[in-house]
Structure 1
Amino acid sequence: MTVQLGREQQLAGGHWLLGAAPSLQETRATWEESGSAWLRPGVLFGAVVVRAGVVHAALGTDSPIGCAPLVDVGGPVFYSDEGFGREGAYTALVPASVALVWSVNGSLPHHRRALLEVPAPQVVMPERAGRPWWVVPLDGPGLLCDPDLLAALVKQGTGAGDAEGGPGA
């Protein structure tokens, strides 16, 4: 018998996320059918949305797939083609208290209790156009991004953009 710890952690993380679902059964079914569902951050976790251009400037690449192995903020991050208005964005799951006070140029806290489209735990590559996918997958229940690492990434990206007249300018 082979134990797949990564898969077990992913399932446990997904089950934990379902605690933020308006309807447990409906959300689980929607995850299965479409690969993403609407969750309500605010108690279990908060969310910070970072413009794709900021992350790309910080990591020196312009592709979400190219960024995936480079994003290191200590917790789960997903990408959406239209997460920041009409621009792509990375959404980092952070402690709920962090999202309440977040103020770093190039990023925005997701409004507490507003619905957020979150990919199903197993969606770790872009599968459907316009649907979010995990760049840094869930690694278990309650494991969230480190706010200091996230702030450093955003500041690096906005600094790179300022220097080049790009994303942070």
Structure 2
Amino acid sequence: MTTSGALVQSRDLAVSNWLLSAADDRSRAETEWNDRGVALLRCGGPFTTIRLPAPLVLAAAGSEDRARVSAYLRAALHSGPVFVDQTAGWYYCLVPARACESWREPDTECFGDDHYLGVPCPGVDFQHPRARSHWVVPMDGPADLCSPDAIRQLVEAARQRTAETGGRQ
């Protein structure tokens, strides 16, 4: 294994351990990651999430191309972690739990501590064959979360682009 491969593996292990601190049952969550590729984790502890509809994200990115959307999100959210539920059409930006105190953007939702979330197993290229979710922008490290202000700017950019193009990308 190369040094960079070992660093990625070490980072993914650290991120996994950090994310698992939000599990009600760590062992069960690890099994869920192994069996299904996603684990049910509680929002409101070490992190929560802001859920964005796919059309909003695609409008902000100005593209439906996965690689372009990923690059856009990486830049717009300063490498903050994002995953997508490709079946339901939602993007989830992991943010500090306190973000829900001031989040009021229409057509989006900040999940409080009464929500659970199916979080994909960390790993840059990991896509479990049975998982409906995968990381678009993987976590760079434990507690390395998105800025709610950057997400607000993304939402505003999507609204402006939609107004300018009449809904066309």
> C-alpha displacement at 1:123, in angstroms?
6.4
Structure 2 counterpart of 1:70, one-letter code = Y
Question: Does structure 1 residue 50 correspond to structure 2 residue 52?
Answer: yes
Letter in 1 for 2:139: L
Note closer, same or farther for the CA distance 1:120–1:166 as it changes in structure 2 (3 Å cut): same
Structure 1 unaligned segments of length 5 or more: list them. none
In 2: Cα distance, 1:129 partner to 1:66 partner: 24
For 1:97, the equivalent position in structure 2 comes to 98
Give 1:77's aligned amino acid: V
Q: Deviation of residue 142 (structure 1)?
A: 0.7
What is the CA deviation profile of residues 101-154 of structure 1, one whole-angstrom value per residue up to 9, with x for unaligned ones? 211234211233311111011264655466110001011111100122111111
- CA pair 116-135 structure 1, distance change in 2 beyond 3 A: same
Aligned residue number for residue 81 of structure 2: 76
Which amino acid is 1:146 matched to? S
Give runs of aligned pairs for residues 56-135 of structure 1, distance below 5 A. 56-72=58-74, 73-74=77-78, 75-83=80-88, 88-122=89-123, 124=125, 127-128=128-129, 131-135=132-136
Instruction: Please give the root-mean-square deviation of Cα atoms over the aligned residues, in Å.
Output: 2.1
Call closer, same or farther: CA 1:128–1:103 in 2, change over 3 Å: farther
Look up the equivalent residue of 2:41 and give its one-letter code: L
Give aligned-pair identity as a percent. 33
Given the two structures, how large is their TM-score scaled by the length of structure 2? Answer: 0.86
**What displacement does 1:165 show?**
3.3
Per the TM alignment, residue 66 of structure 1 is displaced from its structure 2 partner at its CA by: 3.4
Partner residue, 1:38:
40
CA distance in 2, matches of 1:111, 1:90: 16
1:65–1:79 distance in 2 versus 1, CA, 3 Å: farther
**Structure 1 length as normaliser, TM-score?**
0.86
Give the direction of change, closer, same or farther, for the CA distance of 1:123–1:110 in structure 2 (3 Å limit): farther
Residue equivalent to 2:11? 9
Question: SS at 2:50's partner residue?
Answer: strand
Given that 1:76 and 1:144 are in contact with CA atoms closer than 8 Å, whether structure 2 keeps it comes out as: yes
| Aligned CA distance change for structure 1 residues 59 and 129 (closer, same or farther; 3 Å) | farther
Q: Give 1:100 deviation, angstroms.
A: 3.0
- Does the residue aligned with 1:92 lie in a helix, a strand or coil? strand
* Separation in 2, partners of 1:18, 1:77: 17
How many residues are paired up?
163
Name the CA shift for 1:127/1:28 in 2 (closer, same or farther; >3 Å).
Answer: closer
* 8 Å CA contact retained: 2:44, 2:111: no
